[in-house]
């Protein structure tokens, strides 16, 4: 598998033109949601029109706008994108740019991967979460029958273009949400990276330093995806914190108080590092450093013992499970990854006790 081209842009106008011209498309489409249409499209539109006298011409883009939020990540929205491509005269040589968060890059990637059996696409992630996770690594898809990302394919974007200037426009909650995936990347890679993340002032982020950490974080993901693109083994490392995290996320949604994905991952990391410490010898000092960081910045998931059975039930739906076992990705130490670690109901309840009492 080839390394996916990831461009950290300092000059959006030049880099987007070069990315587009890698495929010399006959038609150009830009997928946005209603928020990125308002907040991010003007910057891209200006970049596409600026400097055209100095660079190769690119086709005039046609905008496709979809509703924001995970609820719209469904077959109806997908069909609307296919329809817009079809009615806009897209051919197999056309190009789709996905400009948005993970919902747009996942759904747009899937639309592109399936339209006429596959057209080229570029991801320009507009959230920190999408920059360090969703836009990289080729997972595309939609939700189906109440299950997240149930239908999809692995298909790399032709180019991922990271416009880290966008970071300066994000609010605290969205910075923190993406930062949880960066913490996960620190935990599965190197102690010095994890320490830098834990010591960083995320409440008043130095944007230049954050941009550099984003680049290193994406490299961690890319290195893992290159070794195991279809998640047969090592890629499961990227699910650290997500078995418990997805259960928290689903429960919060069902209780009518949805939380951002990264917050649920941060709480899930604390839970799963406890399992790692008790079962695999993960250093308890690092567990407590992470727990303090998460409590200080992400607060706590309100938890009661009466929720345990429901959380356990939610964990039984995790994609990593094998017949009858809930499987976790755990760590023996920072960067020492242990996949397919099954845990009993008692282990999971003990983990939830730790989370609730700590």
Minimum distance from CB of 249 to ligand GLY (Å)?
13
User: At CB < 8 A and 24+ separation, what contacts does 115-119 make?
Assistant: 115/82, 115/85, 115/86, 115/90, 116/90, 116/91, 116/92, 117/92, 118/92, 118/155, 119/85, 119/90, 119/91, 119/92, 119/93, 119/94, 119/95
- The reply on whether position 272 binds ligand GLY by CB under 6 A is no
Closest CA to 122 of 105, 110, 139: 105
Binding mask 232-251 for ligand GLY (x = CB under 6 A): ---x--x-------------
Minimum distance from CB of 112 to ligand GLY (Å)?
17
For ligand GLY, give the closer residue by CB, 84 or 247.
247
Separation between Cα atoms, residue 154 and residue 141, nearest integer Å: 9
The residue whose Cβ lies closest to ligand GLY is 238
Closest CA to 20 of 42, 48, 40: 48
For ligand GLY, give the closer residue by CB, 15 or 156.
156
Minimum distance from CB of 80 to ligand GLY (Å)?
25
Minimum distance from CB of 138 to ligand GLY (Å)?
8
Write phi, then psi, for 356 (nearest 5 degrees). Answer: -70, -35
* Unique residue bearing structure tokens 């990276």: 193
For ligand GLY, give the closer residue by CB, 95 or 136.
136
User: At CB < 8 A and 24+ separation, what contacts does 164-169 make?
Assistant: 164/8, 164/9, 164/131, 164/207, 164/210, 164/211, 164/214, 165/12, 166/40, 166/126, 167/128, 167/205, 167/207, 167/210, 167/211, 167/214, 168/207, 169/39
Separation between Cα atoms, residue 62 and residue 80, nearest integer Å: 14
Footprint (CB under 6 A) of ligand GLY, residues 103-142 = 133, 137, 139
Minimum distance from CB of 179 to ligand GLY (Å)?
15
Footprint (CB under 6 A) of ligand GLY, residues 134-193 = 137, 139
* Residues near ligand GLY (CB under 6 A), total: 5
Minimum distance from CB of 136 to ligand GLY (Å)?
8
Q: What is the DSSP string of 192-216?
A: HHHHHHHHS-TTS--HHHHHHHHHH
For ligand GLY, give the closer residue by CB, 133 or 249.
133
For ligand GLY, give the closer residue by CB, 212 or 228.
228
- Residues in contact with 167: Cβ distance below 8 Å, sequence separation at least 6, in sequence order: 128, 175, 205, 207, 210, 211, 214
Minimum distance from CB of 248 to ligand GLY (Å)?
16
For ligand GLY, give the closer residue by CB, 31 or 224.
224
Tokens in use for 260?
């951002």
Minimum distance from CB of 345 to ligand GLY (Å)?
26
For ligand GLY, give the closer residue by CB, 73 or 139.
139
For ligand GLY, give the closer residue by CB, 235 or 246.
235
List of residues contacting ligand GLY (CB under 6 A): 133, 137, 139, 235, 238
């Amino acid at each position: 598998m080839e390394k996916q081209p990831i461009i950290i842009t300092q000059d959006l106008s030049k880099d987007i033109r070069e990315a587009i011209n890698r495929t010399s498309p006959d038609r150009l489409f830009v997928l946005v949601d209603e928020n990125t249409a308002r907040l991010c499209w003007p910057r891209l539109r200006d970049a596409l029109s600026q400097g055209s006298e100095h660079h190769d011409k690119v086709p005039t883009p046609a905008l496709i706008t979809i509703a924001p939020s995970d609820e719209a990540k469904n077959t109806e929205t997908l069909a609307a994108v296919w329809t817009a491509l079809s009615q806009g005269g897209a051919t197999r040589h056309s190009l789709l740019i996905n400009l948005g968060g993970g919902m747009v890059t996942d759904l747009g990637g899937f639309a592109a991967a399936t339209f006429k059996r596959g057209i080229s696409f570029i991801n320009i992630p507009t959230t920190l979460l999408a920059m360090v996770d969703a836009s990289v690594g080729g997972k595309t898809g939609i939700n189906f029958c109440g299950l997240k990302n149930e239908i999809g394919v692995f298909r790399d974007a032709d180019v991922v273009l990271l416009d880290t200037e966008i970071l300066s426009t994000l609010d605290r909650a969205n910075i923190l949400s993406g930062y949880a995936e960066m913490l996960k990347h620190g935990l599965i890679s190197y102690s010095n990276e994890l320490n830098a993340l834990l010591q960083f002032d995320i409440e008043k982020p130095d944007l230049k330093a954050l941009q550099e950490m984003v680049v290193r974080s994406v490299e961690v993901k890319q290195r893992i995806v290159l070794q195991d693109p279809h998640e047969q083994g090592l890629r499961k490392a990227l699910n650290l914190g997500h078995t418990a995290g997805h259960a928290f996320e689903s429960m919060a949604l069902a209780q009518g108080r949805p939380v951002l994905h990264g917050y649920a991952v941060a709480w899930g990391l604390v839970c799963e590092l406890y399992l790692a410490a008790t079962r695999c010898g993960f250093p308890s000092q690092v567990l407590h450093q992470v727990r303090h960081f998460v409590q200080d910045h992400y607060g706590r998931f309100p938890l009661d013992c009466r929720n345990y059975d429901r959380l356990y039930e939610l964990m039984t739906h995790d994609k990593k499970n094998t017949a009858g076992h809930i499987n976790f990705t755990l760590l023996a130490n920072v960067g020492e990854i242990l996949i397919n670690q099954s845990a009993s109901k008692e282990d999971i309840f003990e983990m939830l006790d730790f989370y609730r009492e700590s």
